[in-house]
Amino acid sequence: MRSLDIAGTGMQAQQTNVEVISNNIANMTTTGFKRRRAEFQDLIYQDLRRVGSNSSDSGSVVPSGAQVGLGVKTAAIYRINEQGNLQQTSNSLDLAIQGIGYLQVTLPSGDTAYTRDGTLALAADGTVVTSDGYAIAPGITVPTNAQSITINASGQVQVMLSGQTAPQTVGQIQLATFPNEAGLDAQGDNLLLETPASGNPTTGNPGAAGFGSVMQGFVESSNVNVVSEMTNLITAQRAYEMNSKVITAADDMMQTLTNLK
């Protein structure tokens, strides 16, 4: 009976759906996290009577045919890149990106990763780094005698040094954008890598055409909507239960056949 396999694919699809939803809920307080959405496609069809075939020698054509679907499969898990809420922290090295763009991070391997997590800090030598100690690209070093740090909306980093009355510019934050943000490869630790699907990055200063601006003393919250996720979770659970009932019904039908005398 095809129904057993068909319902099995339905249960597997809803299990994937629940896993995606649970990951969204688990990361509802993760800085810069973008929620995911599972997408599904129907599987191949078997033709019991092919549509468009001739039904007689006179050339009459079957108008609709008879096809039986074989279930469902996971097509993709999309990243929804809508803006998260901005949360004030009053930390001078916290940055929130308002609009399009990613901070660039230099990994120990020399590769460049990308993130929306702007919780930055200073290394022992004054280099601006992420919470894992990876340097922001292009590299920015703050003098050890700096009394305050100011980062304006265009990403210019200025410090006030002791004994001076005018601020000194020590670096420039740059953002990267991609033709297809959904094609970035998530690595964990709030880091994303470029892929052939994402396209090559375009870099520029915050506030320039096609780039978002940065806000000092803020971080971007996760864009997970708990109410929507709980609603989706209940829907997925009910769909899983209905597919399991199909398996139970198919099993009862097979049992009826085996009990025939």
User: Which distant-in-sequence residues (6+ apart) come within 8 Å of 56 by Cβ?
Assistant: none
Ranges of the chain whose pLDDT falls below 70: 261
Both tokens of residue 51? Answer: 């549509």
* pLDDT, the chain, mean: 91
pLDDT of residue 255: 87
Say if CB 173 and CB 128 are below 8 A apart: no
Each domain of the chain, given as residue ranges in start order, spans 2-81+224-258, 86-220
pLDDT of residue 154: 92
Which residue's structure tokens are 């009862």? 252
